[in-house]
Each structure stands twice: as C-alpha cells, then as structure tokens.
Copies of this chain bind each other. A is one copy, B any other.
Amino acid sequence: MKKQLEFFFDFMSPFAYLAETQLSALADRFGLEIRYVPLDLPVAKLAAGNNGPSNRQVPAKLRYLTADMQRWAKRYNLPPLVFPSNFASERANRGLFFAIDKGQQRDYVHQMFQAVWGRGEDMTDEAVLRRVAEGLGWSGDEFLAYTVGEDSARRFAEANKETHDRGVFGVPTMFVDGEMWWGNDRLQFVEEYLASQSS
C-alpha cells in the first residue's frame, strides 16, 4: 500500500488552493497517495477554542494576506487569485465524498479549486457546482442531490470530528507518518521530510 499524504482543507481557503496546485506533483514525485479530508474551517477553529474573528474580519490582516497570496501565486507561476463572491463552501466540501466514490477525488479537488480561486466563481451557485460535476463526466443532478443528502452530511460530520481529534485548527494541514504541517508555506518542509525519508 502506498504511503499517504493527508491533506485537510476547505474550499474557502486561498492558501489551501495554493497548496493544492503543488500537491499532485509532490505526491507523484514521492509515490504517495493523497488522502483528501474536507472540513468546515469556522467550525474547526471554534472546536479548537479559537473564537476570534475570521481573517476577512480583520482589515489589516486581510490586506496583508491578500498581498501574500498573490506573492505565492507569482512564485508558483500562477495567475493572480480571484476572490470568490461567496465563502460558503459546504456543498463543495461535501461533494468530495461523491468524487471519492468515483475514484476521482484528485481531479475534483483540483477542478473545484480552479473554479473558486482560479476563476472566482460562486460555489453556492448550482450552475457552478453542476459545471464542475459534468466536467468530470458525472450527472449534474445526481451530484447536486448528493451534496445536500444524508450520506455527505454523515461523512462530512465524521471528517469534522477527525479534524478536531487530530488537532487540526487551520488549513491547509498536511500529515505524513503522523507528522503535521500547517500552511501552504510549509510544503517545502513536507518535501524536505519526504526527501530525508527516501534517501
């Protein structure tokens, strides 16, 4: 069985988007399977005991983080990120379990992040969700129903519980061999860890 690189994320996060653009190449280079775990970031913060405002509610921090994410985009040779009009990511997050059952989780996460932060699309808009689903060869109706159904609700609740139990308080968070790293800016640490293990 392949070693796992676990990726805890929420589609609302631009830094999770940035990390995802690098993740597949990293996993392939070290022969890892990526396990994607979607989570509700505001819930994860509260569950960790952080009842403070979101970064979007702290103007100076939002201004800086916006500059910072564009610096990273430049570093990764990506176009500038486009802020979506909406940060309500629950249906997009829950849709991951549909993708897992189809064995297409990697493509789903990539395509959804491209829609949200690559193009700034509104992930609460059913037309957006449908387009991603149909682009992956699925029935749009089936996918839309799944994202509000019982199965995705149960699995998303389990993922949020696992998030809390494993001490995840922010995204993106990566695990390899039980080691944890938080932040797009720690991908280099993950890479160095993997290189040290494979040498």
| Contact residues in B for A52 (Cβ distance below 8 Å) | 50-53
Binds B, one of A55-63, A105-113, A124-132, A143-151: A55-63
Determine whether A180 belongs to the interface, using a CB cutoff of 8 Å to chain B.
yes
Q: A49-B58, A52-B51 are in contact. Are A64 and B182 (CB under 8 A)?
A: yes
Which interface class (under 10, 10 to 19, 20 to 34, 35 or more) fits A? 20 to 34
Flag whether A78 is at the interface (Cβ < 8 A): no
Q: Are A60 and B185 CB-contacts (below 8 A) given A49-B53, A50-B52, A52-B50?
A: no
CA distance A52 to B189 in the complex (A): 28
Out of B48, B60, B68, B182, which one reaches A169, CB within 8 Å? B60
Listed A/B pairs (25) with beta-carbon separation below 8 Å: A48-B58, A48-B59, A48-B60, A49-B53, A49-B58, A49-B59, A49-B60, A50-B52, A50-B53, A50-B58, A50-B61, A51-B52, A51-B53, A52-B52, A52-B53, A60-B168, A60-B169, A61-B170, A64-B169, A64-B180, A64-B182, A67-B180, A68-B182, A71-B189, A185-B185
